[in-house]
Chain A
Amino acid sequence: METLEPVLVRHPFLQGLPHEYIALLVGCASQARFDTGDFLFRMGEDASSFYLVRHGQVSLEWFSPDRGPVTIETIEQGDALGWSWLIPPYRWELDGRAQTPTLALAFDAVCLRGKLESDPKFGYEMYKRFAPVIASRLQAARLQVLDVHGVRA
């Protein structure tokens, strides 16, 4: 059975990660396939994994009683999906739903959190990659909040 190592090495999010850490990740990795409309995760569930999207598009949704599902953001191939697994209480904050048939690498969070804890250098490499993702999503969210296209009365 071939390992996922070559797949990980090729994913943009893990570019430049030293080989020994790729190997650590492989130990926690699996392939995940979703059909259109499948939920990858639901708000409030334990964040037991994070995903690296290989193909497809995933929407992050908030469900409001009066408006129905509202898509906050879509995650495309090459992006990382999920950082709630890094930050207590480790719960998903939005629904994640496949907009198209989606192929992703899924990483077991419990397995990984242990390895990050025991190898700080590995932990640093991973945080170095997640921090810019969180920052740019925050910046984008701020621009959304500014509602630049809205017309004031």
Chain B
Amino acid sequence: MSTAYAPNAPLGATPNPMLPELFRVRRLISETADTATFVLDPADGGEGEAFRPGQFNMIYVFGMGESAISISGDSADPSTLTHTVRAVGSVTKPMLRLRRGDLVGIRGPFGNSWPVDDAVGRDLIIVAGGIGLAPLRPVIYHVLRHRDRFARVSLLYGARTPGDLLYKRELPAWRGRFDLDVRVTVDAAGSDWRGRVGVVTTLMQGMNVDPDDAVAMICGPEIMMRFAALELSRLGVGEDRMFISMERNMQCGLGLCGHCQFGPSFICRDGPVFRYDALAPLLAVREV
């Protein structure tokens, strides 16, 4: 039986990319009512896979199936694998019932990555909506680890309600830094919220960035990403300097099952990160 796979298989690809490797849950951190962060270790005590910010794994829950989930941890520390999962379907809902010591299967990492190198020497605007902060967190870690390589860095984060904010302990820590402009808003709130209310695009006014030379990385629901791109474009940021992360039905992660196609692109292989101007014409067409 042949087991030959492409010699130029991307970073971290396992010998048989259709078979999962086993990982054990070390910690489960409840982020919101329907979202949790998992910290995983290789079950065989091995070294874990290196990954780049923006990549994703296919997470397998025994007998239930797989779900494509972005890696939300620190790419400088491959010994720990971190995923932030929102319970929306038949695989991710059982995931939130996992406990320390439980096993999951991991295939990956797949996909391309956020072009952090393109932002070196420039202002960087990170725009996150809801669960979209999870695939961007590795970018934040990377930037903070190499802070002097970038000019002014802003994080604009919008969630649905205060209870839906992710990383509730890290956000204030980031906010407390003098070299990071962190702005948080929610779509709606009760009287116990003292922060900003309004959609994430309202955070863009008065940002201290040079729009001619800024790079933007945007992640969240597709409508939100388009609104954000529109608003950034009004402020003078070029569409060729904006990057978004797309999502479609993913099953193999290899560009072979055909489900994740968006026009000519396989989201799992040509994405999930895309330069905005390349996709803008197709994003405007319904039901592509």
Contacts and interface: CB of A to CB of B under 8 A. Distances in A.
- Is A in direct contact with B (CB under 8 Å) within the complex? yes
Contacts of A144: 187-188, 198-199
Interface residues of B, number: 31
B199 A143 contact: yes
A148 B196 contact: no
B220 A148 contact: yes
B164 interface: yes
A143 B160 CA distance: 11
B129 A149 contact: yes
Given A140-B201, A143-B223, A143-B227, A70 B164 contact: no
Interface stretch (A2-10, A15-23, A71-79): A71-79
B125 to A, nearest CB: 18
A143 B206 contact: no
Contacts of B177: none
B198 A68 contact: no
Interface residues of A, number: 25
A74 B223 contact: no
A148 B223 contact: yes
Nearest to A151: B88
Contacts of B193: 71
Nearest to A99: B194
A57 interface: yes
B265 interface: no
Contacts, number: 68
Contacts of A148: 129-130, 220-221, 223-224
Contact of B190 (A68, A100, A151): A68
A143 B206 CA distance: 20
Contacts of A151: 34, 86, 88
B190 A149 contact: no
B96 interface: no
A71 B189 contact: yes
Nearest to B158: A149
Contact of B202 (A59, A68, A140): A140
Q: Which of B88, B199, B227 has the most CB of A within 10 A?
A: B199
Contact of B224 (A61, A72, A100, A143): A143
A150 B190 contact: no
A-side interface mostly: mixed
Contacts of B220: 148
Contacts of B34: 151
B131 to A, nearest CB: 8
Given A149-B129, A149-B159, A69 B191 contact: yes
Interface string B117-146: 000000000000111000000000000000
B242 interface: no
Contact of A70 (B129, B130, B188, B206): B188
Contact of A68 (B131, B191, B199, B221): B191
A46 B229 CA distance: 38
A128 interface: no
18 contacts: A68-B190, A70-B188, A70-B189, A72-B188, A74-B196, A76-B196, A139-B201, A140-B199, A143-B227, A144-B198, A144-B199, A148-B129, A148-B223, A149-B160, A149-B187, A150-B160, A151-B86, A151-B88
Interface of A: 57, 59, 61, 67-74, 76, 78, 99-100, 139-140, 143-144, 146-151
Interface of B: 34, 86, 88, 129-131, 159-160, 164, 185, 187-191, 193-199, 201-202, 205-206, 220-221, 223-224, 227
Given A68-B191, A99-B194, 5 more contacts: A57-B196, A71-B188, A74-B195, A146-B223, A149-B131
